[in-house]
Amino acid sequence: MPALIDSHNHFDDARFDSDRAAAYQRARAAGVEAQVLAAVSARLWSKLKAVAAAYPGLYPSYGLHPGYLAEHRPEHLDALADWLVRERPVAVGECGLDYHLPDLDLHLQAEYFTEQLRLARRHDLPVIVHARRAVDQVIKHLRRFAGVRGVVHSFSGSAEQARRLLDLGILLSFGGPLTYPRAHRLRSLIRGLPLDGFLLETDAPDQPLSHHRGERNEPAFLPEILACVAELRGADPDEIAAATRANARRLFQIPDDASPVPY
C-alpha cells in the first residue's frame, strides 16, 4: 500500500463531527499518512487548530476563502497575521478568487487575495489557492508576487494555464473531478504534466469521486484518485504516490518521517 498525502481537505468540517475518529482511522488504513487542512474563515480557525492537534499527521493552513466573503472583515487579515506568527501553519489559505458563485464582489475578493499573498511572502509560507472560473485572474495576481510558492487546488483550467502556473513555480492539485469519465480536458491534462508539478487531494467532504456520487467524500478515498491518475498516465501507482508525496512534503515542509503509516 503506497503512502499518500492528502494535500487539501476540510477534515474540520461539521460533516465529520459524528465520526471523525473513525474517518481518520479509515484514512490511515488506506495509506494516507498526512493531511493538509485548509481553513475557510476566521470563525473556524480555532476548530481547525483543535482538529489538527488531535490527530497525528494533520497539518493546518489558515486563510480566508473567497466563498465566505460575507463573513470576512478587514480585521481578520490582522488576526491572520498574528495566527501565522503564533501557530506557524504549513500554508496560507484557502484563499483566491471565485467567479462562479453569484453576488461575490470581485474587487473585494481581489483585496483579500492580494493581502493573503502579501502575508504569505512576508512569512515565507506557500499559498493554497482557490481559482474557480478565475484562473487567468489568479495568475495575474500571482505574477505580482513573484517567488511566492503554492498550489492551485482542484485545478480545472487549460493546459496553457497549467503551463503558466508551473512556470511561476505554482503546483496543481487534482481530486475527485478527475475520476469522472466525461472530464476529458482534465484527464488529458494530467497525462502530460511533469511528475514534480502536481499533488493529490480529496477536498473532503466536498467533490465526491465518480464511484461515490451522493456520498460524503473523505480522505480514505485518496487511493482511488491515485489509481485514476496512474491509469491515465500509464504509470506505476507507486511512482505517482512517491512523486506526489515528495511534492507535498517539499511544498508544505512536512518532514519525511512525519507520522508514518503503520503496515
Look up the pTM and report it.
0.96
108 vs 210: CA distance, rounded Å: 35
Burial level of 46, CB count in 10 A (0-12/13-18/19+)? exposed
pLDDT of residue 263: 30
Q: So where are the chain's domains?
A: 4-252
- Are 41 and 72 contacting, i.e. CB atoms less than 8 angstroms apart? yes
Residue of 137, 147, 157, 87 lying closest to 117 (CA atoms): 147
What ranges make up the beta strands (E) of the chain? 4-9, 32-38, 58-62, 91-98, 127-132, 150-152, 170-174, 198-200
At 257 the pLDDT is 65
Judge whether residue 262 has pLDDT over 70: no
Look at residue 261 and tell me whether its pLDDT is greater than 60.
Answer: no
The average pLDDT across 22-43 equals 98
**Helices 159-167, 135-143: crossing angle, 10 deg rounding:** 20
Cis peptide leading into residue 66 (ω within 30°): no
Burial of 77 (0-12, 13-18, 19+ CB in 10 A): middle
Measured in degrees and rounded to the nearest 5, phi and psi for residue 218 equal -150, 160
**Residue 182 CB: number of other CB atoms within 10 A?**
8
For a pLDDT cut of 90, what percent of the chain falls above it? 96
What is the pLDDT at residue 40? 98
- Residue 1 is predicted with a pLDDT of 84
For 72-76, what is the mean pLDDT?
Answer: 98
pLDDT of residue 99: 97
Q: Domain spanning 4-252: which CATH class is it, in words?
A: alpha beta
198-251: pLDDT as tens digits: 999 999 999 999 999 999 999 999 999 999 999 999 999 999 999 999 999 999
